């Protein structure tokens, strides 16, 4: 085509568009305000272009457009099944079903180095991961996995060195040459302390230990990454996108400093680092986040004097735990699909998708299969994996990336001015900041300034059709404690002392001799420090409290909390407000029964009495007279209504009608719904 499709239309100026979009109302702003002070305009034009090509080229500094250059990302699936044989079968199934990498998540007992027979071991065995303590355990979990084909990543918390030794010993046991081994040790001492609040060493000692591991890994295992920067604990506790990025590069900077002290140059240290970002449901913000972190990190490495072609590190994504819910878990599929698309389009090197049924128990075969297939569909059917940076050149996308990078850089500088990420964790500044951000987000959700489908809008009551699978961790802890304490103790004194050179090799040696994770962890000299742990703040938490309260009431009494919706006027007049009220009250687990279009107030009252209701909400029709509203409220009161809500009207109308409470957009849902449950006899 040589002519524009708009050639027959008169050109429209931006000012003319604004006039139409706002209806001429000067107070209407044509921007949407996002978190971290970021603004998204309603309309972008060429006037918003940052530069002819602000993103540069793929696989080139500043790496905004990623390192894949149209290649598919790695499908990394996490296994956290407590039972080792079952975990092995799930890992093999994942790899045969399309996964290219796996994450072995160690349970809480292993992550914290708990000693078998102690209360901490019993409390942590099987919690949040696989029950692994020895080389035999890991060998059982990874039996049948081709360790020179599928990269194995570790999530071992403070036990990153013993866990790394287990994997390295397993390579050796299986005849995998160091040059052929694929793995990611993901040593993230600061992330471990932030998540658990404690570690067997101080943050500085943990960084030094990780740096020593990086030196040895880089020397012995060319295809293994040793260092990790995992922001999911911070995001789960409430960190926004800009703060998540700031924390990521601040943690990366601490790794660079520690590696420099250990004699490793910044470029080599960067090649050892693997970032893992949380992926939320905001499609364009998440796409921009993955583009922004590469720009930010390349800027840090530029300041460190790293050559342009080495100013990058592997960047993975994991779907957010904060956005998944046990309320109507099927909706989790929608959230993780959007997140997967965003991270893939944003240039992530690998993605982990959480099964939709993870919040209700151990993921079942359907949940794990859907998690894998989500990535397969996005990569192989939507072809997102073949496109290099689809957001590049979009005025909106480039502006969003730029604003997010600028906001994150300012917060990074704030952390650095305070002494860096170590000091930010020690002082409690990070914990306080993310808690405050979580409070703000909770307020937005409770006032419906942000919508979460299935949680604060369009809830599903009744049986959702899922069958949670619960594993007996108490029995597992007892059996494992007996099994592990029967083994003779292994001398791990070779791991003690200030000399960290060759620490991995020494750890492999004692691992091969049968040492347990806890024996190795506490053999390493350290000065433990207890810090304030981050508290996970799921977005749906307040609503889950309400829903669980209602469900417990039903289980105890056999009665579901119910409310009558007295819908005034014909259906066309009240349908909008009636549906709004239904959605609103059912978010608190209260079943609503709509009256439908009845002939008059007398029939409304008869329906109320026939249903045995005690609480009602009057849904005011579009053409309802104030006198009719007052008459209906009075008649419902006479019929035994102990509390009457008014929906679709203002406070003055409610007061004139004698109603007890007005419900509408902007009210605090927690306060109103908790009050409604109480009025229905739910304790």
| Segment 513-538 mean pLDDT | 92
The pLDDT value given to residue 96:
96
The pLDDT value given to residue 529:
85
The listed range with the strongest mean pLDDT (46-60, 99-113, 619-633) is 99-113
DSSP 120: H
pLDDT tens-digit series, residues 63-83: 999 998 878 999 999 999 999
Pick the CATH number of 541-679 from 3.40.50.2300, 2.60.40.420, 3.40.50.280, 3.40.50.300: 3.40.50.280
Say whether pLDDT at 1 is over 70: no
Give the C-alpha separation, 408 to 299, whole Å. Answer: 12
Give the lowest-confidence range in 1-10, 517-526, 605-614. 1-10
Give the C-alpha separation, 453 to 599, whole Å. Answer: 34
| Segment 131-152 mean pLDDT | 97
Say whether pLDDT at 632 is over 80: yes
Rounded mean pLDDT of the chain? 94
In sequence order, the β-bridge partners of residue 562 are 591
Fold observed for domain 74-446: TIM Barrel (3.20.20)
| Segment 424-436 mean pLDDT | 96
Q: Considering the chain, tell me which residue range(s) the CATH 3.40.50.280 domain(s) occupy.
A: 541-679
The pLDDT value given to residue 470:
85
The contacts found for 233-236 with CB under 8 angstroms, 24 or more apart, are 233/191, 233/194, 233/195, 233/534, 233/536, 234/194, 234/278, 234/430, 234/434, 234/534, 235/277, 235/278, 235/280, 235/320, 235/322, 236/278, 236/320, 236/321, 236/322, 236/534, 236/536, 236/537, 236/538
| Segment 570-584 mean pLDDT | 94
Say whether pLDDT at 333 is over 80: yes
- Angle between helices 241-261 and 203-220 in degrees, nearest 10: 70
Per DSSP, the chain holds a count of helices (H) and strands (E) of 26, 15
3-class DSSP state of 651: helix
Contact 317, 279 (CB under 8 A): yes
What stretch of H or E contains 189?
helix 189-196
């Amino acid at each position: 085509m040589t002519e524009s499709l708009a050639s027959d239309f008169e050109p429209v100026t931006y000012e003319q568009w604004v006039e139409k979009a706002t209806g001429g109302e000067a107070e209407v702003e044509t921007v949407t305000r996002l978190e971290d002070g970021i603004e998204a305009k309603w309309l972008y034009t060429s006037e918003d272009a940052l530069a002819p090509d602000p993103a540069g080229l793929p696989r080139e500094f500043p790496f905004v457009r990623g390192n894949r250059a149209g290649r598919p990302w790695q499908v990394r699936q996490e296994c956290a099944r407590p039972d080792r044989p079952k975990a092995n079968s799930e890992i093999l199934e994942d790899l045969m079903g399309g996964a290219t990498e796996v994450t072995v998540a160690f349970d809480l007992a292993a992550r914290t180095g708990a000693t078998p027979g102690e209360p901490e071991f019993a409390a942590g065995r099987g919690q949040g991961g696989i029950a692994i303590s020895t080389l035999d355990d890991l060998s059982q979990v990874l039996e049948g996995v081709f360790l020179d084909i599928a990269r194995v990543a570790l999530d071992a918390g403070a036990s990153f060195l013993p866990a790394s030794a287990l994997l390295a010993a397993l390579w050796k046991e299986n005849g995998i040459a160091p040059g052929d081994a694929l793995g990611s040790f993901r040593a993230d001492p600061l992330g471990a302390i932030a998540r658990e609040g404690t570690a067997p060493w101080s943050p500085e000692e943990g960084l030094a230990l990780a740096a020593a591991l990086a030196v040895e890994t880089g020397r012995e295992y060319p295809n293994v990454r040793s260092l990790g920067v995992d922001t999911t604990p911070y995001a789960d506790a409430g960190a926004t996108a800009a703060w998540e990025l700031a924390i990521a590069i601040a943690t990366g900077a601490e790794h660079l400093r520690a590696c420099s002290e250990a004699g490793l140059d910044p470029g080599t240290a960067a090649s050892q680092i693997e970032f893992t970002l949380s992926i939320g449901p905001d499609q364009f913000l998440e796409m921009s986040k993955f583009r922004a972190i590469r720009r930010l990190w390349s800027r840090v490495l530029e300041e460190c004097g790293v050559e342009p072609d080495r100013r990058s590190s592997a960047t993975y994504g994991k779907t957010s735990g904060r956005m998944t819910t046990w309320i109507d878990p099927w909706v989790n599929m929608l959230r993780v699909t959007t997140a997967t698309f965003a991270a893939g389009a944003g240039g992530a090197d690998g993605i982990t998708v959480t099964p939709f049924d993870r919040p209700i128990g151990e993921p079942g075969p359907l949940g794990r299969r859907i998690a894998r297939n989500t990535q397969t569909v996005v990569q192989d059917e939507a072809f997102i994996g073949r496109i290099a940076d689809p957001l590049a050149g979009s005025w909106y996308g480039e502006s969003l990336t730029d604003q997010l990078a600028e906001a994150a850089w300012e917060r990074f500088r704030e952390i650095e001015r305070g002494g860096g990420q170590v000091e930010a964790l020690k002082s409690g500044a990070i914990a306080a900041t993310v808690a405050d951000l979580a409070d703000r987000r909770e307020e937005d959700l409770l006032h419906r300034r942000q919508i979460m489908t299935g949680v604060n809008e369009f809830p599903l009551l009744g049986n959702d059709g899922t069958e949670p699978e619960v594993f007996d961790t108490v029995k597992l802890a007892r059996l494992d404690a007996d099994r592990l304490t029967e083994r003779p103790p292994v001398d791990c004194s070779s791991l003690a002392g200030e000399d960290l050179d060759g620490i991995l090799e020494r750890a492999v040696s004692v691992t091969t001799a049968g040492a347990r994770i806890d024996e190795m962890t506490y053999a390493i000299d350290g000065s433990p420090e207890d810090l304030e742990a981050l508290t996970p703040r799921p977005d749906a938490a307040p609503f889950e409290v309400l829903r669980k309260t209602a469900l417990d009431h039903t289980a105890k009494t056999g009665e579901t909390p119910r409310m009558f919706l007295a819908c005034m006027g014909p259906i066309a007049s009240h349908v909008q407000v009636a549906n709004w009220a239904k959605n609103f009250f059912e978010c608190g687990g209260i079943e609503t029964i709509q009256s439908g279009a009845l002939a008059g107030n007398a029939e409304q009252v008869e329906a109320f009495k026939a249903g045995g209701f005690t609480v009602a909400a009057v849904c005011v029709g579009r053409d309802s007279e104030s006198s009719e509203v007052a008459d209906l409220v009075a008649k419902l009161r006479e019929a035994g209504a102990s509390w009457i809500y008014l929906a679709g009207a203002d406070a003055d109308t409610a007061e004139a009608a004698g109603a007890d409470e007005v419900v509408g957009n902007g009210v605090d849902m927690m306060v109103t719904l908790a009050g409604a449950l109480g009025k229905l006899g739910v304790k």
